[in-house]
């Protein structure tokens, strides 16, 4: 066999196994062989010694927001630079249809121009639907699937700019079922949030911490249940994104026990942070404002960890929605509308940076802390995302797969450190994980056989990342079981 690169002497982890003292032979960006004692085939074969460290598949982060409209966030350049520095080799970002966008085509063209030649890692798109007209669902969306390989859509049950009514959600799910694609749902009850916000303001409870007060766990649980009911009516697979606490987790688990094609996604902020972080001195708590909010009780964290271990959560994503703090269009907007030094939480842009810290947090705080196995880590950060979102060449380590790899430090050679924002590679002026101790970090990140991150430095070339046309999910499909005599009928083209 002819190898360009041999990664030698590593403990290779997949979602099912660990292979110790293993070699990985790579040719033309693909894994050609896995075994012991692989030998160089010519003078140009490079050798990368893992020194007995763990090797895991490159992380796949399927919930990443880049080039957001407020211009205070990460671009594809800075966001994917940050991704590879944290062991993520593929991101799926969002192309967002706005209310007045009558077609998806110019939306995709705009985001494609932003990403083309500007990514350090491989990337793809989800479509956010906020104006699901007949033309969008019957003409544009099939084109997105067939021509561009976009096999997932995201919808919102909250946020006035994006929120869909149940009628519109059913329209989207109906189209998604016909096309065989996955519907992602941001599930929070918008009317309850609006009511709570109005009454909190009347009582002068407007500090960043009360963002969480306005969105108690039942707000997420009710909408999660409603989304599942609508999906069951339509008999279509869904994924509930960024689940934050125990109530919604239990709703998802109950649906799964009935064998419904329902998947859950969670994020590191719900594993490692509590609502206390929104009580920081001054207006600093705004840095941790996201939706759904970080929860109050450690029991919610425990429920999320249990959900990862028992399979309730199919994927762990970052929901990287980075917004600068010290910027008039950033988090400080919450101070512009009165409320004194405490500001008004309802004007704080929601979102946290996290694409660089996602993989190291789960490895350090999950695997090395004894909470999950290395195999479970691989399952939720790489293998399941690849299967759920149609990336058949990614997500595991084996012959024929893309050589997307993370090589960790040998544990005995790594000195634990406490994170500061200055260590990270994003364009944001804070991290919500400031001061968190890390017991390991990716030493090398490889994207399709090329080292793009090495011992603290991004060494890959901007533009190396390729657009990924995705196939349909291999994890779930309609069951052909319905709640009534009604059946979906689709017009013949």
Banded pLDDT at 329 (limits 50, 70, 90): confident
Mean pLDDT over all residues of the chain?
96
If one compares 467 and 341, the residue with the highest pLDDT of the two is 467
Q: What percent of the chain has pLDDT over 90?
A: 93
pLDDT at 493: 47
pLDDT at 491: 64
Banded pLDDT at 64 (limits 50, 70, 90): very high
Residue 430 CA to residue 223 CA, distance in Å, equals: 31
pLDDT at 492: 52
Residue 480 CA to residue 477 CA, distance in Å, equals: 9
Banded pLDDT at 71 (limits 50, 70, 90): low
**Per mean pLDDT, which range of 44-58, 64-78, 227-241 is the poorest?**
64-78
For 253-291, the pLDDT digits (tens) are: 999 999 999 999 999 999 999 999 999 988 999 999 999
Average pLDDT of the segment spanning 434-462 = 99
DSSP code of residue 70: T
Average pLDDT of the segment spanning 204-227 = 98
pLDDT at 340: 82
Under 8 Å between Cβ of 81 and 428? no
Other CB atoms closer than 10 Å to residue 306's CB: what's the count? 15
Banded pLDDT at 490 (limits 50, 70, 90): confident
Which tokens go with 263?
């998947």
pLDDT at 451: 99
Q: Is the pLDDT of residue 72 over 70?
A: no
Banded pLDDT at 294 (limits 50, 70, 90): very high
Cα–Cα separations (whole angstroms), residue 311 to 252, 264, 267, 372: 11, 9, 14, 12
The residues with which 453 forms a beta bridge, in sequence order, are: 445, 458
For 87-121, the pLDDT digits (tens) are: 999 999 999 999 999 999 999 999 999 999 999 99
**Domains contained in the chain, CATH given:** 5-56+392-458 (2.30.40.10), 59-386 (3.20.20.140)
Q: What percent of the chain has pLDDT over 70?
A: 99
Q: Comparing C-alpha atoms, which of 193, 265, 183, 176 is closest to residue 228?
A: 183
Banded pLDDT at 337 (limits 50, 70, 90): confident
Which tokens go with 236?
């279509």
Average pLDDT of the segment spanning 362-370 = 99
For 385-443, the pLDDT digits (tens) are: 999 999 999 999 999 999 999 999 999 999 999 999 999 999 999 999 999 999 999 99
């Amino acid at each position: 066999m002819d190898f360009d690169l041999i990664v030698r002497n590593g403990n290779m982890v997949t979602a099912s196994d660990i292979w110790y003292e293993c070699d990985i032979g790579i040719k033309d960006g693909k894994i050609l062989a896995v075994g012991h004692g692989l030998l160089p085939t010519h003078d140009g074969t490079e050798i990368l010694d893992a020194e007995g460290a763990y090797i895991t598949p490159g992380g796949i982060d399927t919930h990443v927001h880049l080039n957001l409209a407020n211009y205070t966030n990460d671009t594809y350049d800075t966001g994917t630079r940050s991704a590879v520095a944290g062991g993520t080799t593929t991101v799926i970002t969002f192309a967002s249809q706005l209310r007045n966008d009558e077609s998806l085509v110019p939306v995709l063209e705009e985001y494609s121009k932003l990403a083309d030649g500007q990514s350090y890692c491989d990337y793809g798109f989800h479509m956010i639907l906020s104006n699901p007209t007949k033309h969008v669902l019957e003409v544009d969306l099939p084109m997105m699937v067939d021509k561009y390989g976009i096999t997932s859509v995201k919808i919102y049950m909250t946020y006035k700019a994006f929120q869909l009514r149940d009628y519109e959600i059913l329209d989207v799910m109906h189209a998604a079922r016909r096309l065989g694609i996955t519907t992602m749902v941001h599930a929070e009850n918008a009317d309850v949030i609006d009511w709570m916000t109005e009454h909190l303001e009347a009582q002068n409870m407007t500090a960043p911490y009360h963002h969480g007060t306005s969105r108690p766990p039942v707000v997420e649980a009710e909408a999660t249940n409603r989304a599942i009911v609508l999906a069951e009516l339509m008999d279509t697979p869904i994924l509930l994104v960024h689940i934050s606490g125990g109530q919604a987790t239990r709703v998802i688990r109950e649906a799964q026990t009935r064998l419904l094609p329902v998947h859950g996604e969670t994020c590191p902020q719900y594993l490692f942070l509590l609502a206390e972080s929104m009580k920081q001195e001054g207006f600093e708590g705004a840095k941790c404002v996201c939706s759904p909010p970080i929860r109050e009780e450690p029991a919610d964290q425990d429920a999320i960890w249990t959900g990862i271990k028992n399979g309730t959560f199919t994927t762990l994503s970052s929901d990287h929605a980075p917004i600068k703090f010290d910027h008039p269009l950033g988090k400080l907007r919450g101070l512009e509308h009165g409320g004194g030094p405490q500001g008004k939480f309802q004007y704080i842009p929601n979102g946290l940076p996290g694409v660089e810290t996602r993989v190291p947090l789960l490895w350090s705080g999950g695997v090395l802390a004894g909470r999950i196995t290395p195999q479970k880590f691989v399952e939720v950060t790489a293998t399941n995302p690849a299967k759920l979102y149609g990336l058949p060449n990614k997500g595991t380590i084996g012959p024929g797969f893309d050589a997307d790899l993370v090589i960790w430090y040998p544990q005995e050679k790594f000195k634990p450190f406490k994170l500061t924002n200055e260590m990270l590679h994003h364009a944001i002026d804070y991290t919500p994980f400031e001061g968190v101790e890390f017991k390991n970090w990716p030493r090398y990140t490889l994207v399709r056989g090329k080292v793009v991150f090495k011992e603290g430095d991004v060494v890959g070339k901007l533009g190396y990342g390729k657009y990924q046309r995705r196939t349909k999910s291999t994890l779930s499909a309609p069951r052909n079981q319905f709640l009534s005599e009604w059946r979906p009928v689709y017009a013949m083209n």
